Structure 1
Amino acid sequence: MLMAMVPPAAIRNKWGVIIPSTNIMVEHDLAMLCPSGVTFHAGRAYISKPSMASDADAEALLDQMDASFDVALRDVLTLTPDRIVIAMSAEVMRRGVRGGAEFVDAVAQKAGLPVTTGPAAVIAALQRIGATRIAVLTPYQPESDRLTSQYMRECGFDVVHVEGLRRTSATDIAETTPGQVIAGLRALAAHRPDALVVVGTNLSAVKLAAEAEHWLGLPTVAMNAATVWHALRESGITDRRADAGFLLRDF
């Protein structure tokens, strides 16, 4: 008897994921968090000069992503995904809430698909738990921190503190040590927010954020975990897991 033809991955949902070419951690985190049958496929926005050593360098890096975004999107559309995931946090937030929404709407129209972004996922997560006072850990330089804070405030949150790790290049973000992340989370908690937020898709903090919820007693939103949670739930997939923080465990 011939068996029914089923895709090798028993595909439930396919995501085209747009990431900077320098990003190391998004694919790692998605592989860890996506349930069976949910596949992700990266298109990389080319960055030739990854320096973030100054505000000017950081802005130039984002401009490089802008210039190559459409090619990365073109590439992932050839696999006929069900959803586009934009795993570029600063690139969305620097535009502000209105500009970020216009950017995402333009991508959705071009792709003809729903879109999830890290910033929108974080906002949805904070709204889901009713947090209003937040503290934010970033890998950025001061100007990008300012734009991150401004974006969160435009979304209605009281940003009580931003702790910037001042990484000097896009690739250095992935080399942030667990000790640096832990120290940053402790610095945030000292400001007594309702929730902690870790932004930057190359700053992998999924496991540390989940652990921090226990030793700091505060909900901790790691952007990559929030992105997976949002994309799954918006796709009608309700799988949960107990080892990646409150979002994927409880909601």
Structure 2
Amino acid sequence: MPDVLGWRGCFGVVTPSTNTVVQPEYDTMRPRGITNHVARMHIANDPLNSDADFDTLISRIDAALEAALERVLTAQPDRIVLGISAESIWGGGLAAARAIQDRVDRMTGGLPFTQAADALPAALKALGITGPVGLVTPYFPVAHSHLVNYIAEIGCEVVAARHLQRPSPVGIGLTPLATLRDAINEVNRPEVRAIIQFGANLPMMQLAAQAEAWLGKPVLAINAVTYWHALRSHGITDRIAGCGRLLEEH
């Protein structure tokens, strides 16, 4: 018997406890008949002052994955969506993503699973994007090599990057839109074919959609990319307005 509200699919979303953006942005993109059910990966809102602090944060998030999965599985979701992007590629790009997939599969028995590392190459393919890209993140410089290597694996080259070094996990979600606008413009070199934003707690989705209009090129907010891939992989083809070209046209 299908769920009364989620008759097309119930998505179990796993995201850090400090994340205040994934849930509202996913709900903005949610079509009728799909429901989102959020479980939190418990972490502290400790200050971020250095590369070492940020690396520790990723390790703590990673360690909290299974407990959050265990909680959300009690809702009997049809699909798991990983609402964090850095963990998906940290320490090995696509190989790291496969390790995450294996851990999730062991917990879920093989439920359909969506993560940023798989969603982004699908989005780039749909948009016909290869070659030079710009990158915006809330991260510290320690993240740069992880992201550059992963993006190279999927057929693009980071030629400009802005890492905002936000002061705490919650502070990522408090990033002013003017700061994000300036970061987009900073990495928008003439040769850049698209701008990619990592960091699922950056409130970027609607700004990215607006930026596509003034830049004339794709601006891929990672939450829009991940949720688009979850919908399309689940057989949901609804076009979603106001959330960027990817959801409106593909």
Q: TM-score, normalised on structure 2?
A: 0.94
TM alignment of 1:95-174, pairs within 5 A: 95-96=91-92, 97-111=94-108, 112-132=110-130, 133-174=132-173
Paired position in structure 1 for 2:183: 184
Partners of 1:88 and 1:201 within 8 A in 2: yes
Measure how far apart 1:145 and its partner are: 2.3
Aligned Cα root-mean-square deviation (Å): 1.6
Question: 2:235 is paired with a residue of what secondary structure?
Answer: coil
Alpha carbons 2:90, 2:146 under 8 Å: kept: yes
Residue number in structure 1 paired with 2:40: 44
Counterpart for residue 75 of structure 2: 79
Q: Gapped runs of 5+ residues in structure 2?
A: none
Given that residues 225 and 246 in structure 2 are in contact (C-alpha distance below 8 angstroms), is that contact kept between their aligned partners in structure 1?
yes
Equivalence for 1:229: 228
Which contiguous aligned blocks of 4+ residues in structure 1 show a shift greater than 3 angstroms?
A: 5-8
Query: What code does the residue aligned with 2:21 have?
Result: M
SS of residue in 1 equivalent to 2:232:
helix
Conserved in 1, the CA contact under 8 Å of 2:13 and 2:81? yes
Report the Cα offset of residue 50 of structure 1: 3.0
Look up the match of 1:34: 30
- Partner amino acid, structure 2, of 1:146: S
Normalized against structure 1, the TM-score is what? 0.93
Distance 1:220 1:90 in 2: 18
- Structure 1 unaligned blocks of 5 or more: none
Q: Offset at 1:177?
A: 0.7
Q: For residues 67 and 109 of structure 1, do their structure 2 counterparts lie closer, same or farther at Cα, with a shift above 3 Å needed?
A: closer
- The one-letter amino acid paired with 1:233 is R
Q: Percent identity?
A: 38
CA 1:12–1:166 in 2, change beyond 3 Å: closer, same or farther?
same
Secondary structure of the residue aligned to 1:142 is: coil
The amino acid that maps onto 1:161 is A
Tell me by how many angstroms 1:106 deviates. 2.8
Cα deviation, residue 186, structure 1? 0.5
Cα deviation 1:78-122 (Å, max 9, x = unaligned)? 111110001111111213221222221331243120110123212
Report deviation, 1:190: 2.3
Moved more, 73-82 or 88-97: 88-97
Residues 12, 36 of structure 2: 8 Å contact kept: yes
Q: Which residue type is aligned with residue 225 of structure 1?
A: A
Other structure's SS at 1:171 match: helix
User: Structure 1 residue 166: deviation in Å?
Assistant: 1.0
The code of the aligned residue for 1:103 comes to I
Matches of 1:148 and 1:137, distance apart in 2: 11
Q: Could you say if the C-alpha distance between residues 6 and 93 of structure 1 is closer, same or farther in structure 2, counting changes exceeding 3 Å? A: closer
Q: Give the distance between the partners of 1:90 and 1:10, measured in 2 at CA.
A: 29
